[in-house]
């Protein structure tokens, strides 16, 4: 029979049958003994003592087989437990599963797994198992009713402790907890990992003495060694998980910092392979992040200077700053300031290079534009720019013509469109209005949603025919909007624009604060031009009587409308709708 358990069961059955047979033989001989004496027949000496001895030996053999069966079952449980507790890194699950095996191995009344806190070193009851009687006895107790003297002895010595009757054990005579809790059988073994005591496994029985023997002690010690390894692995896994989470949080924070920096940030390793490439660097160099990570820097950044020599020099020195120009695409070149710094570890060993890249292209273009302006623009205009910049907060009063134009209502031409497309369409309409204003040298004061305000005859663009230029700008807007309708496939009826033009005296100057200011115009003239725009119908260009009086020989047709009573004014305002002749 291949199954050892089944084989032992068969042996045990046969032993018990043999014992029964011997007892029957002994009883039969006893009953025939007197009859044999009458016939002068005597049994051999020591017949009954031999039979009794055989029965006794069979009893011993029976107990031995039972003990072996018990031990085999315990060893199997121990082997199964090794696989079970090492199948998870969840510490609570490991301890809970382990406690079930403890009770199964020892047949204890109560069992506890006690751990030392990794940080404070204090003792913590992590898992407990109690039968119903024990639970009722400790229902009003905050801590298990066990002998902490026994537990502390095991934790301090690191050796198992077994007592088959703690109440009468000389080692614990006078111990208050042993006496108070009437402890009998107690077994406590340490949870040791690499000579470090992590805690202890404690089992006891308060009713019966002699429940635990040396066999239970050895088994529980072996089991505790398995559990200690599982606990160490679970704790290591938790520390790794915590460290990994901290690393991920730090990486996320670093990524967010790099993403929010306006300058391009690039880092390389000791072999000049790219390890970091933030969003600003992607935008400046027109590169995809995933496509450049791990690539040699000199293949991604094609500067005119010898980049390998610069990187080698940056690794050996502290900081290196260069200004260079390079192509990022077929039609675009970038002027950049680049600062190279060595990346060093905690031991000050250089592990790579960090590069901070600032795009100077627009700044250089502005500088070049100013140079061009100084060569080609009239000196008077440059002086006007300087005079406006030099004005204190406040301003000067002068006659101007002001245009307020609503390029289009968002609600009319953007129904159902996503925000990005709405913004693109608004910009297309505003760009059309802007081009018309710039064509006749108007100055745009501000954009307000889909509205634009423009000034003629400000300090920046002084002109005598400011009214005629403003009217021409309004007519050019109309023509530009009609062309835009055709381009976008929009029915021009109804139109989306409305424009108001008025001429009068306004105050022009700087408003704001010492550190930030804007050049603008304020006054009744500005307000009235806005009111004209608000009272115009879509598709109308309305001018005031003051503007009409300044128009001489302008190629326009005027249609007088009903006078307007605009908000903020008591008198009526004569207004005209204008058309190109």
Given a cut of 90, whether residue 544 has pLDDT beyond it is yes
Tell me the backbone φ, ψ of residue 302, rounded to 5 degrees. -95, 80
CA triple 152-75-61, angle to 5 deg = 110
pLDDT for residue 536 = 92
**Which residue in this structure is represented by tokens 């400790």?**
138
Question: C-alpha distances in angstroms, 489 versus 40, 87, 432, 435, 572?
Answer: 140, 68, 16, 21, 40
Among 23-27, 131-135, 210-214, 458-462, the range with the most confident prediction by mean pLDDT is 458-462
Among 26-30, 111-115, 144-148, 228-232, the range with the most confident prediction by mean pLDDT is 111-115
pLDDT for residue 548 = 94
Q: Nearest CA to 261 among 325, 335, 364, 356?
A: 356
Domain count, the chain: 4
pLDDT for residue 546 = 94
d(CA 94, CA 229): 11
Q: Nearest CA to 316 among 348, 277, 280, 279?
A: 348
Question: What does the pLDDT average to over 484-505?
Answer: 87
Question: C-alpha distances in angstroms, 168 versus 163, 194, 491?
Answer: 9, 35, 107
Given a cut of 80, whether residue 331 has pLDDT beyond it is no
d(CA 483, CA 492): 9
pLDDT for residue 138 = 45
Burial 290-313 (b: 16+ CB within 10 A, else e): eebeebebeebbebeeebeebbee
Report if residue 267 sits inside a domain.
yes
DSSP per-residue codes, 392-417: PBS-EEEEEEEEEEE---HHHH-TT-
Predicted TM-score (pTM) of the model is 0.39
Each residue of 443-455: pLDDT tens digit? 888 888 889 999 9
Report if residue 254 sits inside a domain.
no
d(CA 154, CA 160): 6
- Sign of the four-CA dihedral 145, 149, 154, 155: positive
Given a cut of 50, whether residue 135 has pLDDT beyond it is no
Given a cut of 50, whether residue 376 has pLDDT beyond it is no
Question: C-alpha distances in angstroms, 122 versus 69, 91, 118, 155, 198?
Answer: 40, 18, 8, 11, 11
Report if residue 370 sits inside a domain.
no
Each residue of 281-329: pLDDT tens digit? 888 888 888 898 999 888 888 775 677 888 888 887 777 888 888 777 7
pLDDT for residue 556 = 92
Pair 153, 161: CB distance under 8 Å: yes
Instruction: Using pLDDT thresholds of 50, 70 and 90, give the confidence band for residue 136.
Output: very low
Report if residue 381 sits inside a domain.
no
pLDDT for residue 137 = 45
Total residue count of the chain as it appears in this document: 581
pLDDT for residue 461 = 86
User: Alpha helix locations (H) across 317-461?
Assistant: 361-376, 379-390, 410-413, 419-439
Residue where one domain finishes, among candidates 75, 95, 116: 75
d(CA 569, CA 504): 15
Q: Which of 21-25, 262-266, 481-485 has the lowest mean pLDDT?
A: 21-25
Q: In what order do the strands lie in the sheet with 332-344?
A: 274-277, 264-269, 350-359, 332-344, 320-329
Please tell me whether residues 447 and 495 are part of one structural domain: yes
- Report the chain's mean pLDDT, rounded to a whole number: 78
Residue where one domain finishes, among candidates 238, 253, 271: 238
Each residue of 198-211: pLDDT tens digit? 999 888 877 677 67
Report if residue 227 sits inside a domain.
yes
Report if residue 246 sits inside a domain.
no
Burial 216-228 (b: 16+ CB within 10 A, else e): bbebbbbbbbbbb
Instruction: Using pLDDT thresholds of 50, 70 and 90, give the confidence band for residue 123.
Output: confident
Please tell me whether residues 545 and 517 are part of one structural domain: yes
Give the side-chain half-sphere CA count within 13 A for 236.
Answer: 8
pLDDT for residue 377 = 44
Please tell me whether residues 490 and 509 are part of one structural domain: yes
Look at residue 275 and give its three-state secondary structure: strand
**Residue 533, token pair as written in the block:** 């725009």
Given a cut of 80, whether residue 574 has pLDDT beyond it is yes
Please tell me whether residues 323 and 196 are part of one structural domain: no
Please tell me whether residues 156 and 113 are part of one structural domain: yes
For position 167, which CATH number holds?
3.30.450.40
Question: What does the pLDDT average to over 62-89?
Answer: 63
Question: C-alpha distances in angstroms, 401 versus 241, 253, 426, 505?
Answer: 70, 54, 25, 9
Q: Which tops the pLDDT comparison, 18 or 556?
A: 556
Instruction: Using pLDDT thresholds of 50, 70 and 90, give the confidence band for residue 111.
Output: confident
Alpha-carbon dihedral angle through residues 478, 484, 488, 490, given to the nearest 10 degrees: 10
Please tell me whether residues 345 and 415 are part of one structural domain: no
Residue where one domain finishes, among candidates 24, 47, 75: 75
Given a cut of 90, whether residue 578 has pLDDT beyond it is yes
Please tell me whether residues 346 and 400 are part of one structural domain: no
- Sign of the four-CA dihedral 45, 49, 51, 54: negative
Report if residue 395 sits inside a domain.
yes
Instruction: Using pLDDT thresholds of 50, 70 and 90, give the confidence band for residue 7.
Output: low
Look at residue 169 and give its three-state secondary structure: coil
d(CA 449, CA 386): 29
pLDDT for residue 258 = 65
Tell me the backbone φ, ψ of residue 576, rounded to 5 degrees. -135, 140
Q: Which tops the pLDDT comparison, 399 or 117?
A: 399
Q: Which tops the pLDDT comparison, 438 or 106?
A: 438
Q: State the DSSP H helix or E strand holding residue 233, giving kind and residue range, or none if neither.
A: helix 214-260
Please tell me whether residues 421 and 533 are part of one structural domain: yes
Pair 547, 400: CB distance under 8 Å: no
Please tell me whether residues 467 and 575 are part of one structural domain: yes
For position 342, which CATH number holds?
3.30.450.20
Instruction: Using pLDDT thresholds of 50, 70 and 90, give the confidence band for residue 372.
Output: low
Question: C-alpha distances in angstroms, 487 versus 44, 484, 492, 572?
Answer: 133, 5, 11, 40
Question: What does the pLDDT average to over 348-363?
Answer: 85
Please tell me whether residues 352 and 395 are part of one structural domain: no
Each residue of 21-67: pLDDT tens digit? 777 777 777 777 777 777 777 767 677 777 777 777 777 777 776 66
**Residue 175, token pair as written in the block:** 């111990």
| Residue ranges making up the domain that contains 500 | 388-580
pLDDT for residue 69 = 64
Given a cut of 60, whether residue 233 has pLDDT beyond it is yes
Please tell me whether residues 290 and 342 are part of one structural domain: yes
Taking phi over 0 as left and psi of -120 to 50 as alpha, with beta for the rest, 41 belongs to: beta
Question: What does the pLDDT average to over 126-138?
Answer: 59
- Strand 498-512 and strand 541-544: pairing? parallel
- Sign of the four-CA dihedral 3, 4, 6, 7: positive
**Residue 352, token pair as written in the block:** 């790579």
User: Alpha helix locations (H) across 261-376?
Assistant: 279-285, 289-292, 297-300, 307-316, 361-376
Give the percent of the chain with pLDDT over 70: 77
Pair 64, 82: CB distance under 8 Å: no
Look at residue 57 and give its three-state secondary structure: helix
**Residue 572, token pair as written in the block:** 């009526």
Please tell me whether residues 346 and 474 are part of one structural domain: no
Each residue of 149-191: pLDDT tens digit? 888 889 999 999 888 655 555 565 556 555 556 667 888 999 9
Pair 257, 221: CB distance under 8 Å: no
pLDDT for residue 107 = 74
Q: Which tops the pLDDT comparison, 104 or 202?
A: 202
Question: What does the pLDDT average to over 99-118?
Answer: 80
Report if residue 250 sits inside a domain.
no
- Strand 185-193 and strand 196-205: pairing? antiparallel
């Amino acid at each position: 029979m291949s199954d050892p358990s089944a084989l032992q069961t068969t042996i045990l059955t046969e032993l018990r049958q043999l014992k029964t047979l011997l007892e029957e033989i002994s009883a039969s001989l006893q009953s025939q003994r007197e009859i044999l004496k009458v016939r002068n027949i005597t049994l051999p000496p020591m017949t009954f003592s031999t039979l009794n001895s055989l029965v006794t030996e069979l009893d011993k053999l029976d107990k031995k087989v039972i003990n072996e069966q018990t031990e085999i079952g315990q060893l199997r449980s121990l082997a199964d437990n090794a696989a079970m507790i090492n199948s998870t890194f969840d510490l609570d699950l490991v301890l809970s599963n382990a406690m079930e095996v403890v009770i199964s191995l020892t047949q204890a009344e109560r069992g506890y797994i006690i751990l030392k806190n990794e940080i404070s070193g204090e003792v913590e009851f992590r898992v407990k198992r109690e039968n119903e009687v024990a639970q009722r006895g400790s229902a009003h107790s905050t801590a298990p009713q066990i002998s902490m003297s026994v537990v502390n002895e095991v934790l301090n010595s690191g050796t198992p402790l077994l007592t088959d009757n703690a109440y009468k054990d000389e080692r614990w005579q006078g111990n208050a907890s042993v006496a108070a809790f009437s402890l009998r059988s107690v077994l406590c073994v340490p949870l040791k990992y690499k000579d470090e005591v992590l805690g202890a496994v404690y089992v006891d029985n308060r009713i019966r003495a002699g429940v635990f023997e040396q066999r239970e002690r050895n088994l529980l010690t072996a089991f505790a060694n398995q559990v200690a390894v599982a606990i160490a692995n679970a704790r290591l896994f938790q520390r790794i998980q915590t460290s990994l989470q901290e690393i991920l949080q730090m990486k996320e924070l670093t990524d967010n910092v790099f993403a929010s920096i306006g300058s391009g940030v690039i880092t390389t390793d000791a072999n000049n392979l790219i390890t970091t490439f933030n969003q600003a660097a992607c935008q400046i160099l027109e590169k995809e992040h995933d496509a450049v990570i791990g690539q040699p820097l000199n293949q991604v950044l094609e500067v005119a200077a010898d980049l390998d020599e610069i990187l080698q020099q940056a690794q050996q020195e502290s900081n290196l700053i260069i200004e260079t120009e390079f192509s990022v695409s077929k039609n675009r070149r970038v002027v950049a300031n680049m600062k190279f710094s060595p990346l060093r570890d905690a031991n000050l060993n250089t592990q790579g290079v960090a590069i901070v890249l600032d795009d100077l292209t627009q700044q250089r273009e502005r500088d070049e534009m100013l140079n061009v302006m100084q060569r080609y623009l009239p000196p008077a205009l440059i002086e006007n720019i300087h005079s406006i910049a030099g004005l204190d907060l406040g301003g000067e009063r002068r006659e101007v013509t002001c245009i307020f134009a609503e390029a289009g209502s968002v609600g009319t031409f953007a129904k159902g469109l996503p925000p990005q497309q709405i913004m693109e369409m608004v910009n297309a309409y505003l760009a059309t209005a802007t081009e018309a204003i710039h064509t006749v040298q108007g100055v745009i004061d501000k954009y307000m949603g889909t509205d634009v305000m423009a000034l003629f005859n400000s300090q920046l663009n002084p002109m005598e025919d400011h009214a005629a230029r403003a009217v021409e700008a309004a007519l050019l807007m109309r023509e530009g909007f009609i062309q835009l309708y055709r381009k976008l496939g929009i029915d021009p009826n109804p139109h989306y624009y409305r424009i108001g033009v008025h001429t009068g005296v306004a105050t022009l100057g700087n408003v704001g604060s010492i550190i930030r200011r804007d050049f603008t115009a304020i006054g009744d003239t500005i307000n009235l031009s806005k009111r004209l725009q608000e009272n115009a119908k879509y598709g109308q260009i309305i001018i005031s009587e003051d503007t009409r009086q300044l128009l001489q020989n302008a190629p326009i047709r005027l249609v007088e409308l009903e006078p307007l009573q605009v908000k903020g004014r008591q008198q009526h305002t004569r207004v005209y709708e204008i058309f190109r002749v």
